Chain A
Amino acid sequence: MRSASSARSRWGLRALGLGYLTLLLLAPLVAIFYKTFEHGLAPPLDAITSADGLHALKLSLLMVVIAVPLNTIFGIGCALLLVRHKWKGNAVIDAVINLPFAISPVVIGLSLFLLYGTQGWLGPTLAENGIEILFSVPGMVLASIFVSVPFVVRETVPVLQEIGTEQEQAASTLGANAWQTFRRITLPSIRWGVAYGVVLTTARVLGEFGAVSIVSGSRSGETETLPLFVKKAFDNFEFAGAYGASVLLAVLALSTLLAMNVLKRKEDA
């Protein structure tokens, strides 16, 4: 069907689609790099390497280091459970796991705030034992875990379904026990799916803003992650700092994109 009108509609579609993309996604991408280095490398670099900036970076990385492994282990275990063991409650587990996708981060933050607050169900008990959740690191960690629960599970489940059980059954007939089978057969087959999930989890934790801001009180130098740092800098008209941190986060985001692409190809192969 090669005709003038189909060529016209092809170009029309391209104009619409790519035009929209450019205005919405590409332009912003370009803008942020431009804006930051407009006056050279120094201002943003100075800002990030300030005491507050470094602390924010460290805190963000701390979130990642705690939340990602926890959710990865949970994710693989949960995926195995859902795919390999039939249970009426699986549908419910499924639904609960999907919740963090759809709920507002602010709502998530508030719910944690209420649970661990001075009048919450767990707050007072924990406080009596000297454990502070809100306005300090543990609360932020809980928030980070909450928002990033789904990713590893979601990416692992389809892979598990696809590889089927035959290899595992073969391993059993050859004498492997459950753990050996898991470590030598199952895990290697799902590794790209898991890796992809890990990348998404990391990106989500690094970029989390709303939930963490409510839970942490955003105290500079103490309970401020990089995204919170950006907001505070912006509010104080410290644009170099805001942009500097933003660019760092953007660079991390682009690395995430790159990793996603590479892993997606490995997964499909």
Chain B
Amino acid sequence: MGITVEGASKRFGDFQALKDVSIEVPNGSLTALLGPSGSGKSTLLRTIAGLETLDGGRVLIDDEDVSTKPVQKREVGFVFQHYAAFKHMTVFENVGFGLKIRKWDKAKVADRVHELLRLVQLDGLAGRFPSQLSGGQRQRMALARALAVEPQVLLLDEPFGALDAKVRKDLRTWLRHLHEEMHVTTIFVTHDQEEAMDVAEQLVVMNNGQVEQSGSADDLYENPANEFVMSFVGEVNRLGDSFVRPHDMEVVLDADERTQEGMVQRIVALGFEIRVEFVLADGTEIWAQLTRPELQRLELVEGQIAYLRPAQAKSFNGSSPSETIGASTPHGSPDEGDAEKPAAV
């Protein structure tokens, strides 16, 4: 069931949460709505679910305009950040709720519930109450509950936001596997770009109620449409008008016409990768990402002077992004097009 949103707009009092938003979610895909707080991503998700109504625009599920359909009838599975577990019901009753109100007979309900509990690895806990489960378990229960009624679409609103980092990582891998097995069109909302890039096939980056860019993780990383997207999906150094990824920042010991002088302020080892913080002559602070071998080869120490050269840089003038490769000065004027990449070290 593909989902299309056309020209959606939504206001809460004075606050415009969505401004003419349009997205396409292909059938069976796993899409992330990514953005900072207040970007409108949760509002958009809830609009698709029918938990909010639009002021303007429409929502189509499987080519049918469902904008005026109440949430009950849209057959969407929704998973909330704080689980929304039915506190007064057991795990079994929670998962079976949708089936019970569809008047399935008891035996079939039991079969399906146990099947789902096995799927989410909660079998054996059917008789417990949500308050007796951990956060991760509660969220898996919520997923099972949403999947029980075989929704056309699965919507998850920051599903791992309330969980510990380790649990979060485990669950998102698990979600990806689940999607591979079940192929339900899935949209999830997150502010964590790593999570989005790890899990989703398609990312929709939102900011201020608008879509900044949508595409695959690679697309967004390699070809960001604007400064916002570039800095949201990865780390960025700003040199005048250009933006350089730390791992594109080459560090050399000899100056040449393409380099800038910088002094090493701090060297931080983060596992395999080293973060080297520099301050340039004009006071700009930037950092370069080096591997351990590279650092050892350069033998950098704090206080040392070295020279920096962007292997790749991007500039965004007005609305059209342009890429500067290699040869320009970092403060540069945009250099459109096809200069060759310098040989990477």
Contacts and interface: CB of A to CB of B under 8 A. Distances in A.
Nearest to A3: B70
Tell me whether chain A's interface is mostly helix, strand or loop, or mixed.
Answer: loop
Tell me whether chain B's interface is mostly helix, strand or loop, or mixed.
Answer: helix
A133 to B, nearest CB: 51
Contacts of A1: 70-72
Q: Size range of the interface on A?
A: under 10
Nearest to A6: B70
A178 B71 CA distance: 57
Nearest to B68: A2
Q: Size range of the interface on B?
A: under 10
A84 B72 CA distance: 49
Nearest to B71: A1
Contacts of B72: 1
Contacts of B71: 1
Interface string A1-22: 1010000000000000000000
Interface in A1-55: 1, 3
Contacts of B70: 1, 3
Nearest to B53: A2
Nearest to A1: B70
A3 B53 CA distance: 14
A1 B72 CA distance: 9
Interface in B46-75: 70-72
A1 B52 CA distance: 10
Contacts of A3: 70
A3 B71 CA distance: 13
A21 to B, nearest CB: 29
A1 B70 CA distance: 6
B330 to A, nearest CB: 50
A170 to B, nearest CB: 30
Interface in B64-103: 70-72
Interface string B148-171: 000000000000000000000000
Nearest to B72: A1
A1 B74 CA distance: 13
A3 B68 CA distance: 11
A3 B72 CA distance: 13
A1 B73 CA distance: 11
A3 B69 CA distance: 11
A1 B71 CA distance: 8
B278 to A, nearest CB: 42
B194 to A, nearest CB: 35
A46 to B, nearest CB: 56
B69 to A, nearest CB: 11
A5 to B, nearest CB: 12
A1 B53 CA distance: 10
A192 to B, nearest CB: 30
A178 B70 CA distance: 60
A139 to B, nearest CB: 49
B66 to A, nearest CB: 15
B304 to A, nearest CB: 45
A6 to B, nearest CB: 10
A9 to B, nearest CB: 15
Interface in B159-212: none
A140 B71 CA distance: 62
B191 to A, nearest CB: 30
A3 B70 CA distance: 10
B10 to A, nearest CB: 16
A8 to B, nearest CB: 16
4 contacts: A1-B70, A1-B71, A1-B72, A3-B70
Which 4 residue pairs spanning A and B have beta carbons closest together? A1-B70, A3-B70, A1-B71, A1-B72
